[in-house]
Amino acid sequence: MNKDSVQGNLKQAKGSVKETVGKAFGSEKMQAEGMADKAAGKAQEAYGDTKEAAKDAADKLRH
């Protein structure tokens, strides 16, 4: 796991909390922010996973 994957997971968790709080208080704005945070977190996690896979593939080619 790398920095981008970890940060992506944290953003997703933060987004889930925001979305839940937004639903509980009837705040559509907070719900939308939570959904946006979750989407950004998923994208960052995917980027980190892709970076990690590329690094692993490059390491295999070297050996």
| Host domain of residue 18 | 3-62
| pTM score | 0.84
For the chain, the average pLDDT equals: 95
- Low-confidence residues of the chain: pLDDT under 70: none
Confidence (pLDDT) at 63: 81
Q: How many domains is the chain built from?
A: 1
Which residue has 């979750």 as its token pair? 38
Contacts of 25 (CB under 8 A, 6+ apart): none
Q: By CB neighbour count within 10 A (0-12 exposed, 13-18 middle, 19+ buried), where does 54 fall?
A: exposed
